[in-house]
Structure 1
Amino acid sequence: MARDRRPSKQMLALLATMSDRPGHWRHGYELMKETGVSSGTLYPLLLRMTEQGLLAAEWREPVQAGRPPRHAYRLTVAGISLARSVAESHSGCSAGMVRI
């Protein structure tokens, strides 16, 4: 039986950051800097959200020659929907609110 869990504060921070530009591909390092979530928390969260269908992930070729390809992430339709519902349920909160 699956549990219906509320998003963690780290997931809320990630949803807020990614919902600023939901169609924009972002790298983990960029997300780590924007959210303040440590890499040891962020990367497992990105993997879990991808497995849940909330994020799309793909390998992106490097912009700079000699650099390795990196994963990039963006919200899926389901992720955008979750971000909106979280934003609605947190309306009136000032800190950590998800923006859509």
Structure 2
Amino acid sequence: MLAALLAAGNDWCHGYELAKQANIKSGTLYPLLIRLESQGYLEAVWQEAAETGRPPRHAYRLTATGRQLARDGLGETGAVSIKSGGGAIA
């Protein structure tokens, strides 16, 4: 997921796209996105739908700190672990 966000640069990504690219379920993805945002690694905004009648969607992108964290972690192993309290984000 962080690799997909890193590849997007400053472009906003939607959760559905990230879930497909990272091959993870939404029940795993969204708690990770929330935690990354709360730790300052990710920005999130609501975007109006392009099609009439569709609900607005959250869009995400890495902050400068998040990009550095992703580069550092992905450069070595291809996976990132972010320590937070008693848990980690992979």
TM interval, short-chain normalised = 0.7 to 0.9
SS at match of 1:73: strand
Question: Residues 10-30 of structure 1: CA distance to partner in whole angstroms, max 9, x if unpaired?
Answer: xxxx11111112211011111
Gaps of at least 5 residues in structure 1 are: 1-13, 91-96
Q: How many residues get paired?
A: 79
Highest RCO, 1 vs 2 (Cα 8 Å, sep ≥ 6): 1
- Alignment TM-score, normalising by the size of structure 1: 0.74
Match of 1:8 in 2: none
1, 16, 26: which one aligns with 2:13: 26
Moved over 6 A (4+): none
Structure (1/2) with the larger strand percentage:
2
Residue 64 of structure 1, CA deviation: 0.6
Provide the alpha-carbon RMSD of the alignment. Answer: 1.2
Write the distance in 2 (CA, Å) between the matches of 1:40 and 1:55.
Answer: 18
Match of 1:60 in 2: 47
Give 1:48's aligned amino acid.
Answer: R
Q: Percent identity?
A: 49
Write the distance in 2 (CA, Å) between the matches of 1:87 and 1:68.
Answer: 34
- Alignment TM-score, normalising by the size of structure 2: 0.82
